[in-house]
C-alpha cells in the first residue's frame, strides 16, 4: 500500500507543475493583449531632419533667475571651451583669484565646500564641471506648457512693502 501512495504522489507533482505553467502561460497571453504597444505606428519611426539649433544669447547681461537657488545661466558663448578633468576654461575668469582682472563674477563660495561643509583652498571636485548646472541661454519657447506665476504677479506684497 505504501508504494502505491508514493507513486500517486510522484505523478501528481508533475501534473501540478504542468497545470501551473499552463495557467501562467494563459495569464501572459491575456496581459499581452491588454497592454498597449510601445513601438508606435511605423510612420512615427521615420527619420526626420533635425531642427536647427537656436542661437545662444551672448549679450553678457546677467539674466534674472526664475526661482531662488537657480544656478545662473551663462550670458556669453562657451563654444570651444575646454571642460575636462584636466582643464576648465571657466575657472580662468570666474575663479576667486582671477575675477579682478577679468571682471567676471566670482563663483559662489559653495563651490569651494565639500559635502560636509568643509572649506577647501580650490574648487570642490563635485562643483568642477560647470555645465552640469549652468547652461547658455537661448530665446526659445518652453518645451512643455507652463502656467507658473511669480508671487509678485499674484498680488503678494514683499515684507515691509506698504500699500499706496
pLDDT tens-digit series, residues 40-80: 565 666 788 888 888 888 888 888 888 888 899 999 889 88
Exposed / middle / buried, residue 90 (Cβ in 10 Å: 0-12, 13-18, 19+): buried
User: Within a 13 Å sphere around the CA of 63, how many CA atoms are in the beta-carbon half?
Assistant: 19
User: What's the pLDDT at 41?
Assistant: 63
Residue 129 has pLDDT above 90, yes or no: yes
**pLDDT given at position 26:** 78
pTM given for the model = 0.57
pLDDT at 6 over 90: no
Q: What are the grid coordinates assigned to 89, written together? A: 576654461
DSSP state, residue 38 = S
Average the pLDDT over each of 29-43, 56-70, 106-120 and give the range with the smallest value. 29-43
What is the percent of the chain with per-residue pLDDT over 70, rounded to a whole number?
A: 79
CA distance 105 to 90: 11
Burial of residue 134 (CB within 10 Å: 0-12, 13-18, 19+) is: middle
Residue carrying the nine cell digits 496581459:
31
Locus of grid cell 500517486: 8
Distance of alpha carbon 137 from alpha carbon 76, whole angstroms: 8
Model pLDDT, residue 110: 92
pLDDT at 37 over 70: no
User: Where residue 31 falls among pLDDT bands split at 50, 70, 90?
Assistant: low
CA-nearest of 56, 58, 60, 63 to 104 is 60
Q: List phi, psi (to 5°) of 98.
A: -110, -5
pLDDT at residue 30, as a whole number? 67
Question: Do 161 and 97 contact (CB within 8 A), yes or no?
Answer: no
Q: Helices marked H in 35-94 — which ranges?
A: 91-94
Amino acid at each position: 500500500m505504501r508504494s502505491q501512495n508514493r507513486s500517486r504522489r510522484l505523478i501528481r507533482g508533475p501534473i501540478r507543475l504542468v497545470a501551473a505553467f499552463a495557467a501562467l502561460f494563459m495569464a501572459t497571453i491575456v496581459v499581452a493583449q491588454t497592454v498597449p504597444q510601445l513601438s508606435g505606428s511605423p510612420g512615427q519611426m521615420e527619420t526626420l531632419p533635425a531642427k536647427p539649433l537656436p542661437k545662444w544669447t551672448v549679450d553678457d547681461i546677467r539674466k534674472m533667475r526664475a526661482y531662488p537657488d537657480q544656478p545662473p545661466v551663462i550670458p556669453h558663448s562657451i563654444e570651444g571651451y575646454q571642460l575636462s578633468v584636466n582643464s576648465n576654461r571657466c575657472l580662468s575668469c570666474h575663479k576667486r583669484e582671477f575675477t579682478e582682472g577679468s571682471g567676471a563674477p566670482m563663483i559662489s563660495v559653495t563651490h569651494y565646500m565639500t559635502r560636509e561643509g568643509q572649506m577647501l583652498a580650490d574648487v570642490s571636485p563635485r562643483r568642477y564641471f560647470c555645465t552640469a548646472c549652468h547652461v547658455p541661454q537661448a530665446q526659445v519657447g518652453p518645451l512643455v506648457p507652463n502656467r507658473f506665476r511669480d508671487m509678485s504677479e499674484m498680488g503678494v506684497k514683499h515684507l515691509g512693502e506698504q500699500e499706496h
